[in-house]
């Protein structure tokens, strides 16, 4: 059984947002067209409290896109984004949210970031998605959304580690692509056994 997993299609990750992914809004119609082909549609939503430790503003003398050491390892510091209850945290207004049977919020713990839909960035704290998929009997995940080199990447790799078949739809994702991060993410996903396909492949 398959599920369409839509990663972080939120205003702050689209043009005009606080952490905009280039052309991020252009994939919304593609995602909407895919939804009717799936019995299960799941959405993730970045959901940070104010002052989250992944924000550069929470660290003195740090700028966005610099890194710092957290107890769980290196952490990229981001502009304030997807703050709980703000317009930036809301889903893109053109995204069809009605078909979603689950909205999974992540990154709400103040001390730890969460790229993956399965685990916080310590790679130990679960989000609960794995248990949900198991109870539904879902074995194949088709991933779309933002950003390919961060949250899509980590979700895809963790999905493979947990035993799921994972396909990333290339037309339905975009990357930040900072310092070659897109190429690195592609390599990591390929090494993990993630497949890349087109909308035609998955419909």
pLDDT value at residue 123:
93
* pTM higher than 0.85: yes
Active site residue 161: no
pLDDT in tens, 131-162: 999 999 999 999 999 999 999 999 999 999 99
pLDDT value at residue 179:
82
Q: How confident is the model at residue 178 (pLDDT cuts 50, 70, 90)?
A: confident
Q: Which residue in 25, 151, 158, 182 is the catalytic one?
A: 151
Distance of CA 69 to the CA centre of its chain: 22
pLDDT in tens, 49-96: 999 999 999 999 999 999 999 999 999 999 999 999 999 999 999 999
Active site residue 82: no
Active site residue 106: yes
pLDDT value at residue 70:
94
- Give me the domain span that covers residue 45: 2-202
Q: Which residue in 8, 12, 25, 149 is the catalytic one?
A: 8
Half-sphere exposure of 124 (CA within 13 A, CB side): 5
Output the domain CATH number for residue 24: 3.40.50.850
The number of domains in the chain is: 1
Mean pLDDT of the chain: 97
Q: Which residue in 14, 46, 82, 106 is the catalytic one?
A: 106
Going by DSSP bridges, is the β-strand pair 102-106/73-76 parallel, antiparallel, or unpaired? Answer: unpaired
């Amino acid at each position: 059984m398959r599920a369409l997993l839509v990663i972080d299609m939120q205003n702050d990750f689209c043009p005009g947002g606080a952490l905009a992914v280039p052309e991020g809004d252009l994939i919304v119609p593609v995602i909407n067209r895919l939804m009717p082909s799936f019995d299960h549609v799941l959405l993730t939503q970045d959901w940070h409290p104010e002052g989250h430790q992944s924000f550069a503003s929470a660290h003195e003398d740090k700028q966005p896109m610099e890194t710092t050491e957290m107890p769980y390892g290196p952490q990229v510091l981001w502009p304030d984004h997807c703050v709980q209850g703000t317009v930036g945290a809301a889903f893109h207004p053109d995204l069809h949210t009605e078909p979603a049977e689950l909205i999974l919020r992540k990154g709400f713990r103040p001390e730890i970031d969460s790229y993956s839909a399965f685990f916080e960035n310590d790679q130990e704290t679960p989000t609960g998605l794995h248990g949900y998929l198991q109870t539904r009997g879902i074995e194949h995940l088709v991933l779309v959304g933002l950003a390919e080199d961060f949250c899509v990447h980590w979700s895809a790799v963790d999905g493979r580690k947990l035993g799921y078949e994972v396909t990333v739809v290339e037309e339905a994702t975009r990357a930040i692509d900072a310092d070659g991060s897109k190429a690195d993410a592609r390599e990591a996903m390929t090494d993990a056994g993630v497949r890349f396909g087109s909308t035609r492949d998955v419909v």
